[in-house]
Amino acid sequence: MTEPPKPPRPNRLNGLTAREWLKFQKSWFIHNPPPRKKGVLRHPAKFPETLVQEFVEFFTKPGQWVLDPMAGTGSTLVACLRSGRNAIGVELNPAYAQIAQQVLSEELAEQEHPTLQATLLQADARSFPLTDLPTIDYVITSPPYWDMLRMKGAKTQQERRNQAEWDVFYSDSPDDLGNIADYEQFLTELVSVYTRLAPCLRIGAYLTIIVKNVKKGGTIYPLAWDLARLLGKTYKLKDEKIWCQDNIPLAPYGLGNAWVSNTFHQYCLQFRNE
């Protein structure tokens, strides 16, 4: 007698098919985002909505809550609305917060899910009140890469200086983490942003930080690895995915003199609140 087929294993994390799940499990990926819209070009390091949406759809179910404590011009919030999730963003820079509000208004007007919520708070991620937050099901964010945007020799920064309406760095605010000159102080402040969120995260919720190591003055500062080590004391570091950016032109750094790589990858660190 033939045994009946076993029922499919329940998917407690997301709404993906087994094939979609397996595809996301690859430890590296290539993602070349579409051109940025004119309204958000001012931001010097915008997070691609298309990339965020892939992570949101893997680590949450429709209707759950996603938080980005460094929301910039609202990429995470837009990605959440497009994938049927609720979202909260926090942004220090009032100019970027204003752009994000406009982007959100336009996105909400086109949404097929009128019950979804997307809120942008103009505040410091280190001190905004946590008491009014709902239980958060997922955090995804990309922090400042120390004060890398202040490095005048960067080719991308030279190009941005030719555009009067484009920011070269985030702001001149003393509260901006991207303006901290000392690496260890920067690292301490950045870690505090994420550790203070732990009481708001559902047990079992994931936290994704997209970040890269920093080259400065001929030295590598292992920002991604330091974050993994220090945050591993609060959350459990589960894994990493490596974002390969193969659409950036090569530059002859150190040609004929020294080894200096063209760094076209970023680390997507996956932590879990256990």
Q: What are the chain's domains? A: 18-32+41-272 (3.40.50.150)
pTM of the model: 0.87
| Res 6: pLDDT | 64
Q: Which one is predicted more confidently, 57 or 150?
A: 57
Record the tokens describing residue 50, joined without a space: 């298309």
Q: Are strands 219-221 and 214-216 parallel, antiparallel or unpaired?
A: antiparallel
Task: Give the HSE-up count for residue 190: Cα atoms under 13 Å, Cβ half-sphere.
Answer: 26
Model pLDDT for residues 246-267, shown as the tens digit of each residue: 888 898 988 999 888 998 999 9
Work out the widest C-alpha separation in the chain, in whole angstroms: 76
Asked if the model's pLDDT at residue 3 lies above 90, the reply is no
**DSSP per-residue string spanning 198-243:** GGGEEEEEEEEEEE--EEETTEEE-HHHHHHHHHTTTSEEEEEEEE
Higher pLDDT, 39 or 44: 39
Helical (H) or strand (E) element with 65 = strand 65-68
**pLDDT, tens only, 182-205:** 999 999 999 999 999 999 999 999
pLDDT at site 22: 94
Between CA 187 and CA 246 the distance in angstroms is 28
* Residue 36 pLDDT greater than 80, yes or no: no
Q: Which tops the pLDDT comparison, 229 or 247?
A: 229
Q: What is the percent of the chain where pLDDT is above 70? A: 84
